[in-house]
Amino acid sequence: MTDFLSSLKIAASGLHAQNDRMRVIAENIANADSAGKTPTEDPYRRRIPTFQAVMDADAGGKTVRVGKIALDMSAFESRYEPGHPAADARGYVRYPNIDPLIEAMDMREAQRSYEANLNVVTVTRQMMGRTIDILRA
């Protein structure tokens, strides 16, 4: 039973990590078009979740968790919008360094990883149930 519980704990850590990752990606998507309020104010900067492997003595192995949320230091996008309140002297407004296509692909990858961990939980629970049924017989 200990191996089953270890499997559940490791998969649960993966579920939590991917859930946190999807939350960060959703925040990026929500702020993709948010410019600063003034020409000198920086717009939202894309965030990138990092993962850490953590040794878990109870699980008998490594679990995963979201570590530091890093900032993407790539250049902001500039668009010519002379009437915008955040436009500089040349009429350009700086927008976040977020590519919605990249975010969509990252979200899909996080969803697949989440589903894989969920399948581990489901199969482990089924195996536990069958083991209990065998022990009852």
Q: Which amino acid is at 112?
A: R
pLDDT digits (tens, 9 = 90+) for 68-88: 999 999 999 999 999 999 999
Unique residue bearing structure tokens 């998969």: 11
DSSP string, 5-24: HHHHHHHHHHHHHHHHHHHH
Tokens of 88: 């500089």
> How many structural domains compose the chain?
1
Residue 2 pLDDT: 67
By C-alpha distance, which of 72, 73, 94, 91 is closest to 81?
91
Give the pLDDT band (50/70/90) at residue 5: confident
What Å distances lie between residue 106 and 17, 41, 69, CA to CA? Answer: 14, 28, 15
Quote the domain boundaries for residue 18.
2-136
pLDDT digits (tens, 9 = 90+) for 32-76: 999 989 999 999 999 999 999 999 887 778 899 999 999 999 999
Residue 50 pLDDT: 95
Residue 1 pLDDT: 57
Tokens of 99: 């590519």
Mean pLDDT, rounded, of the chain: 93
Residue 56 pLDDT: 85
